[in-house]
């Protein structure tokens, strides 16, 4: 066992760092407080080979490993937290599910543009009555000729105000096996969006309404019985989510270390107070542990997709660590940390959301408990005797 990056990985990390310093350092604060999706950054990243890092070369990707993608998103987030979301969109989110399961025609139609940063895909799973219990989703796909009619409502979809394409979880029939997914373009007849609402992070989302939206057979990504495969690929999204939590925790940590190394109170540097030194020691231990868990999940997945248990452990721990560290960083930086003049408060707000998004910390812990006891624990109420 070796806890060091290989020479190739180090060179890759250094080249991403140079890219980030050159293209992302300036404007990082403004980007975090800006509206909308930084599409300009997406195009620059794509041109520099930072999109599709772990997607196969024959699909237009870079043919790297999941760990390469993790190293890249972490490095970007260390320099520009908001740009890490763009790395997520170009590497870990629904783009990866499309690359994994899309037909040759779907990839030809959509993947090239997504990998060039010229289009954006969003994943619409969550519904008003189906959040953590995502398999309760009701959005229906009813047969219509050789295709389907989609009816339903989705909430909380990241990038929903601006995405060009939506990977929509739908129900082809009853039960978990009835769930699959379809691809729906932004301007499809019957597809409308509600008024924008803001998350705590500042990001906007809109409610999505599907009213008899017609999809052809060529728009089905995974048909009936596709849910388990879809969630298997969704574990990649969880790794990206975990990596951003870690990166933003590290970003806030660096800001706090710099502050404590230069700020004087009571005639001494802040870093000379033991009460603050111990905060830094705790933060350092937690960040290192989080990174090891994240890299383990990514390394074990290099030949495919991360395991559900590895992904759950990495996500829950990175989510909690990123938030805790960002919170401590704000405390150490006092009024400066709480103010919008540095990115510490942004890291705090942003990491908070990832404890809920992509499977909450509690749902990850439910999954970890199943791995511990090697059995499934249904979250649903026990069936009453005699009930059908």
Ligand X SMILES: Cc1cc2nc3c(=O)[nH]c(=O)nc-3n(C[C@H](O)[C@H](O)[C@H](O)COP(=O)(O)OP(=O)(O)OC[C@H]3O[C@@H](n4cnc5c(N)ncnc54)[C@H](O)[C@@H]3O)c2cc1C
Which residue's CB is nearer to ligand X, number 52 or number 94?
94
Q: Are residues 79 and 145 in contact, defined by beta-carbon separation less than 8 angstroms?
A: no
Taking the C-alpha atoms of residue 261 and residue 276, their distance in angstroms, rounded to an integer, is 11
Strands 191-193 and 208-215: antiparallel
Q: Which position's Cβ is nearest ligand X?
A: 131
Beta carbon of residue 75, minimum distance to ligand X (angstroms, whole number): 22
Distance of closest approach, residue 95 Cβ to ligand X, in angstroms: 12
Give, in degrees to the nearest 5, the angle at Cα 207 between 205 and 210. Answer: 135
In the bound state with ligand X, the residue whose beta carbon lies nearer, of 62 and 126, is 126
Are residues 368 and 313 in contact, defined by beta-carbon separation less than 8 angstroms? yes
- For the bound state, the minimum distance from the C-beta of residue 290 to ligand X, rounded and expressed in Å, comes to 19
Closer CB to ligand X, 148 or 156, in the complex: 156
Q: Give least dist CB 363 to ligand X, A.
A: 6
CB of 122 to ligand X, least distance (A): 6
- Here the tokens at position 266 are 């009571």
Q: Cβ 45 to ligand X, closest distance in Å? A: 20
Nearer to ligand X, 163 or 325 (CB): 163
Helix axes 308-332, 361-373, angle to 10 degrees: 140
> Which C-beta is closer to ligand X: that of 276 or that of 309?
309
- Contacts of residue 166, Cβ cutoff 8 Å, sequence gap at least 6: 121, 122, 123, 124, 157, 160, 183, 184, 185, 186, 191, 208
Closest CA to 224 of 182, 180, 169, 184: 180
126/235 with CB nearer ligand X: 126
What's the sign of the alpha-carbon dihedral 244, 247, 251, 257? positive
Residues near ligand X, by CB under 6 A: 122-126, 131-132, 156-158, 199, 353, 356-358, 360, 362-363, 366, 379
């Amino acid at each position: 066992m070796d806890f060091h990056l290989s020479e190739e990985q180090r060179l890759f990390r250094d080249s991403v760092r140079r890219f980030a310093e050159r293209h992302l350092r300036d404007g990082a604060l403004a980007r975090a407080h800006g509206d909308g999706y930084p599409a300009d950054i997406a195009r620059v990243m794509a041109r520099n080979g930072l999109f599709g890092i772990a997607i196969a070369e024959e699909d237009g990707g870079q043919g790297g490993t999941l760990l390469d993608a993790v190293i890249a998103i972490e490095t970007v987030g260390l320099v520009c937290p908001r740009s890490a979301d763009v790395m997520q969109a170009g590497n870990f989110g629904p783009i990866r599910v499309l690359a994994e399961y899309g037909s040759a025609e779907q990839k030809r139609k959509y993947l090239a543009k997504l990998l060039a940063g010229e289009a954006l895909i969003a994943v619409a799973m969550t519904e008003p009555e189906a959040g953590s219990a995502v398999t309760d989703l009701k959005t229906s796909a009813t047969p219509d000729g050789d295709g389907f009619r989609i009816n339903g409502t989705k909430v909380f979809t990241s990038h929903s105000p601006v995405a060009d394409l939506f990977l929509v979880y739908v129900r082809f029939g009853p039960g978990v096996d009835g769930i699959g997914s379809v691809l729906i373009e932004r301007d499809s007849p019957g597809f409308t969006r509600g008024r924008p609402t803001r998350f705590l992070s500042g990001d906007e989302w809109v409610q999505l309404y599907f009213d008899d939206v017609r999809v052809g057979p060529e728009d089905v990504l995974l048909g009936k019985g596709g849910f388990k495969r879809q969630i298997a690929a969704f574990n990649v999204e969880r790794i990206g989510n975990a990596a951003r939590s870690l990166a933003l925790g590290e970003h806030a940590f660096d800001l706090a270390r710099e502050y404590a190394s230069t700020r004087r109170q009571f005639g001494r540097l802040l870093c000379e107070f033991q009460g603050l030194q111990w905060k830094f020691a705790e933060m350092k231990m937690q960040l290192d542990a989080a990174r090891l868990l994240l890299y383990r999940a990514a390394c074990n997945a290099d030949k495919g997709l991360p395991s559900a248990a590895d992904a759950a452990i990495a996500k829950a721990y990175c989510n909690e660590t990123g938030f805790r560290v960002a919170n401590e960083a704000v405390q150490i930086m006092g009024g400066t940390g709480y103010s919008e003049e540095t990115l510490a408060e942004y890291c705090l707000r942003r990491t908070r959301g990832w404890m809920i998004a992509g499977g909450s910390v509690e749902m990850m812990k439910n999954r970890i408990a199943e791995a511990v006891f090697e059995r499934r624990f249904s979250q649903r109420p026990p069936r009453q005797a005699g009930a059908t």
